[in-house]
Structures are given as structure tokens and as C-alpha cells.
Structure 1
Amino acid sequence: MKTKLKTKKAMIAIKLLIILVIGAVLPTMINLSKMQILQFDFLLNFIGAQIGLSLALLAIFFTLIEKYKDKLGKEKFNIFFTPIINEFKDDIKSYFGMLIIIIIASFFPFDTSITLFSYTFKIVQWIGVSTLLLSIIVLWDILNATLKLIKFISEL
């Protein structure tokens, strides 16, 4: 079980590192200042809508939990539903963290740059790109958890 947890954490770290590298490199290759999808008003609305969707799915999920809790028994219930509950919990925390980062970053001009080791790092654009990519991955994770739930319930 610990090996599986370490592998999962390693995969999350690798995905996050890839997102951060893409977020850092992409603004230097392409002029992103005119892209509406990376503007903070869009990102705030997008992430806010995803939080709302996640909470709605979680409410539906808990309604289903109550329906199937007695039918499954405690052991089977814990084996299946606890990991999905934890996935939803982690995803909602991720969205909330992204929302806070976007709100803080929106106080700075979009073209704010920092130079490190002769590399101009467009920090606000990096935050925008990274947040957008991360939110898409978290949305994918929510979709997978929901599909697991639907598959499990359809097999009962």
C-alpha cells in the first residue's frame, strides 16, 4: 500500500513539474499577453465554475452514498467510496489553492518579469499558463472519479 502511495505521489510531482516547466517556457516562446483565456477574469470565472461543478458532483455523490451504504456493507463501502471521497477532497483543495494564487497574481501587471540567471521569467504569465493546465488536469481527475462511481453503481 505504501509503494502505491509513493508511486501516486511521484506521478503527481512529475505532472506538476511538467506543468510548471511548460508554464515557464511557453510565455517566452509565444506572446500570451493578448490571449483572453489567460486573462485573470477568465481564469477566476473558469476555476470558480469548476469549484461549483465539483461541489455539485460531491453533493450528488453523498446522496448516492447514503443510498448504497447499507446495501454494500461497511468494508466494501470503505474500499470503494473512501478513495473517491479523498479524490474529490483533494481536487476541491487544488481548485481553492489555484483560486487564491490567481487572486494574488491579479494584483500584478500581466507582463511582470523577473530575470534569473540571464533568463527572463514572465512570472504572471507563468502563473496563468500553469493554473490553466493544472485546472484542466484536476477537471480530468474529477471526470475519472465520477466515471468510476457511475461504473461501480451500474454494476451493483
Structure 2
Amino acid sequence: MNTIILRTIAPIITSLMVLFSIFVLLRGHNEPGGGFIGGLIAVSALAIYGIAFGVNAVRRAIRFHPLAIAGAGLLLATVSGLVSVIAGVPFMTGLWVYPSLFGVEVPLATVMSFDVGVYLVVVGAITSIALALEERDVD
């Protein structure tokens, strides 16, 4: 499907969907959402972009190989769990720190870094599968 309407609207839809996926990721600890659902929304945005412009355009847009993104997410999620072991509490126990940024106390948690890791794993793995299927279908 390579219509002028889809090619015109796809970048706007993709941008809004990626922004919404980040919103869902960030609110996921206290309300419905999180890394998995946010990642699925981001992959859907990349799929729409891929339908409009092709696989090569998606690869240029994400800049890194999708499996590298998934690997970085897996590393981040694992490190988030290991931080609690280093602190002497059970694996995957949430830990918070409260650094001050410009006079404002900002709560940071290992739970959030784990969610970001899951987000990256989902985006990387499913994008890799989708791109591989689309490349195979074109040939």
C-alpha cells in the first residue's frame, strides 16, 4: 500500500504513537501501562511507517540494529535487578534514590530502569521480527 495519503500522514501518526508509547511507559508503574505495552505501541508506530516507506526507511529511522536495541534493553533490565543484590536485598527488589536536580528532588527507581529495559527489549525484538518478515515478503 503506497498511497500518497498514507505517505503524507504516516510520519505524523508515527510521531504521535511513539510519543504516546513513551507516555504509557512512564506512567506504567503507578497506573496501567509500562514497558511491555509501551513497546508494543512503539512497534505499531514503526510498522505503520514501514508500510508507508519500506523496510530501509524504518532501519534508517531507528539508527541501530533492532537486536542491538533488544540486547541493550535486556542488559538494562538485568542490571536493574542486580543493583538490589549489590545493596543486600533480594533480587529485583525496587530501590529508590532521590537526587536533587536544580533544587527539585527527583525520585529515581530501579523499577523504572527495569521498565525501560523491557520497553527496549520489546521494541528491538518485535521490530527485528517484523523487518525480517517484510524483507522476506518483498523478495
Question: Could you say which TM-score interval applies, normalised by the shorter chain?
Answer: 0.3 to 0.5
Q: TM-score, normalization: structure 2?
A: 0.41
Structure 1 length normalisation: TM-score?
A: 0.38
State which structure, 1 or 2, has the greater radius of gyration over its C-alpha atoms. 1
